[in-house]
Amino acid sequence: MTSPTTAPTAPETWDAVVVGGGVAGLAAALMLGRARRRVLVLDAGAPRNRFTAHMHGVLGRDGTSPARLLADGRDEVASYGGVVRTAEVTDARADESSVVVTTADGATHRGRHLVVATGLRDELPAVEGLARFWGRGVAHCPYCDGYEVRDQRLVVLGNGPASVGQAQLIRQWSERLTYVVHDAPAPTPEERAALEARGIVVEAGRAVRAEAGPGPDGERLAALVLDDGRTLEVDAVFTAPRPRLGDDLLLRLGAERADGGTGPGGALPGAVPVDMLGRTSVPRVWAAGNVVAAYANVPVAIAAGTMAGAGVNHALVEEEVAAAVAATRSAVA
Ligand SMILES: Cc1cc2nc3c(=O)[nH]c(=O)nc-3n(C[C@H](O)[C@H](O)[C@H](O)COP(=O)(O)OP(=O)(O)OC[C@H]3O[C@@H](n4cnc5c(N)ncnc54)[C@H](O)[C@@H]3O)c2cc1C
């Protein structure tokens, strides 16, 4: 006899649909699969770190290619019955008991809960030739890429008020550092003095072009041309791209971005707030990873997805307890 706590779900209704099959989405799906939930992952196949061949700072997988990690993650999800499909989700609607997503080919998928793990897009400073070196010579995160260029000729390309701080941070990896102010506010006299006190050369102008040179695997970033015509020879450029959160589906579902954000110390203005488990303000809708936390690296995104997967399972258990109790009461009445 089927117990009310395990009432069969309609075959077309998944326990959870996960949109985004990067590390956050796959981690959520892994938890759900291991909790014996029917989970569907829909993934457009463009993870944020696809531009780089190796990832770092990921305990146990340091130096692994991001593509390898995701392939392993998809296999792990599939081994517990999870289904991962390549598809772009273009719309999502929630009702009282489920969430329905629509993919670009017009198909719809219904889930009792939805996890949005759609990441973000990095908008680089507009410098000719810079984007082709993104992830291989141009980077944002020194914990990801700093060690590999330690002691080399580095540039921090200013892109906002936090850029002076980024230059002071990058100085930890090399003494041969130039700060090109570019799109950042001009450093105050105190900031300039602090930069120079640590041997950081300050260039007040803008970068106009990134140039290539011969490298071990074909072309590599070799120089930045400044607006006064001078050329800086460089081994790597660090900058802070503007994060464009991929939260359209969350906003469509009625979530709102908060001023304070969810980053450490509220450091991420403009993100949809989530609780520790990734629960948004919209019933049945959860979010994890870069889509709500631009600061999250791979381990942090995995942790957030893990929490969201467990959170969804707990919410499902609560619903099933309530349904079982109601069914028992009506049987007795
Ligand atoms: C160049 C670079 C190098 C990096 N190196 C490191 C490193 O060395 N170590 C480290 O820890 N971190 C690194 N990171 C950070 C890392 O990329 C992120 O922490 C991680 O990708 C966040 O995972 P996520 O699952 O939140 O998002 P993502 O990995 O971006 O995954 C989101 C997924 O959702 C999909 N998607 C988006 N919208 C839709 C939609 N509408 N429908 C269906 N699917 C959708 C995307 O195609 C993508 O596959 C690097 C980032 C960059 C840019």
Residue 109: pLDDT above 60?
yes
For the residues of 101-124, what is the DSSP string, one character each?
EEETTS-EEEEEEEEE---EEEE-
Which amino acid does the sequence have at 46? A
Per the model's pLDDT, the better-predicted residue between 218 and 297 turns out to be: 297
Q: Which of the listed residues 23, 30, 48 should we mutate to test ligand 1's pocket, taking the one with most ligand atoms within 8 A of CB?
A: 48
pLDDT at 216: 80
Residue 278: pLDDT above 50?
yes
As a residue count, the chain comes to 333
Residue 40: pLDDT above 90?
yes
pLDDT at 269: 65
pLDDT tens per residue, range 5-15: 444 444 579 99
pLDDT at 10: 44
Q: What are the CA-CA distances from residue 157 to residues 25, 83, 219, 232, 234 (Å)?
A: 32, 42, 21, 12, 12
- Identify the residue whose C-alpha is closest to ligand 1 atom 13: 297
Kind of pairing between the strands at 231-233 and 218-226? antiparallel
pLDDT at 7: 43
Does ligand 1 come within 6 angstroms of the Cβ of 23? yes
Does ligand 1 come within 6 angstroms of the Cβ of 142? no
Can you tell me the mean pLDDT for 45-60? Answer: 98
Does ligand 1 come within 6 angstroms of the Cβ of 121? no
Please list, in sequence order, all residues whose beta carbon lies within 8 angstroms of the beta carbon of residue 155, skipping any fewer than 6 positions away. 177, 178, 179, 180, 207, 224, 232, 234, 236, 237, 238
Q: Name the residue among 153, 298, 303, 313 with its Cα closest to residue 220.
A: 153
Can you tell me the mean pLDDT for 295-312? Answer: 97
pLDDT at 5: 44
pLDDT at 268: 59
Q: Distance, CA 225 to ligand 1 centroid (Å)?
A: 30
Can you tell me the mean pLDDT for 247-257? Answer: 96
Q: Distance, CA 131 to ligand 1 centroid (Å)?
A: 17
Residue 99: pLDDT above 60?
yes
Least-confidence region, from 24-28, 184-188, 254-258: 254-258
Measured distance CA(285)–CA(287) in Å, rounded? 7
pTM over 0.85: yes
pLDDT tens per residue, range 76-90: 999 999 999 999 999
Q: Name the residue among 300, 275, 304, 296 with its Cα closest to residue 28.
A: 304
Residue 104: pLDDT above 80?
yes
Residue 240: pLDDT above 70?
yes
Mean pLDDT estimate for the chain: 93
Q: Distance, CA 44 to ligand 1 centroid (Å)?
A: 11
Residue 266: pLDDT above 60?
no
pLDDT at 263: 46
Residue 260: pLDDT above 80?
no
Q: Check the CA dihedral 176-182-183-189 and report its sign.
A: positive
Helix (H, G, I), strand (E, B) or coil at 267: coil
Q: Which residues pair with 220 in a beta bridge?
A: 213
Structure tokens at 307: 């929490």
pLDDT tens per residue, range 159-181: 999 999 999 999 999 999 999 99
At 333, the pLDDT band (50, 70, 90 cuts) reads confident
Tokens 């696809």 sit on residue: 50
Tell me, letter by letter, the H, E, C secondary structure of 25-54.
Answer: HHHHHHHHHHCCCCEEEEECCCCHHHHCCC
Residue percentage of the chain with pLDDT more than 90 = 89
Strand order in the sheet with 218-226: 207-215, 218-226, 231-233
Residues 256, 292 contacting (CB under 8 angstroms): no
Measured distance CA(146)–CA(211) in Å, rounded? 21
* DSSP alpha helix (H) spans, the chain: 23-34, 66-79, 142-145, 163-170, 189-197, 248-252, 298-332
Residues 118, 28 contacting (CB under 8 angstroms): no
Measured distance CA(168)–CA(108) in Å, rounded? 49
Q: Check the CA dihedral 271-274-279-282 and report its sign.
A: negative
pLDDT at 332: 85
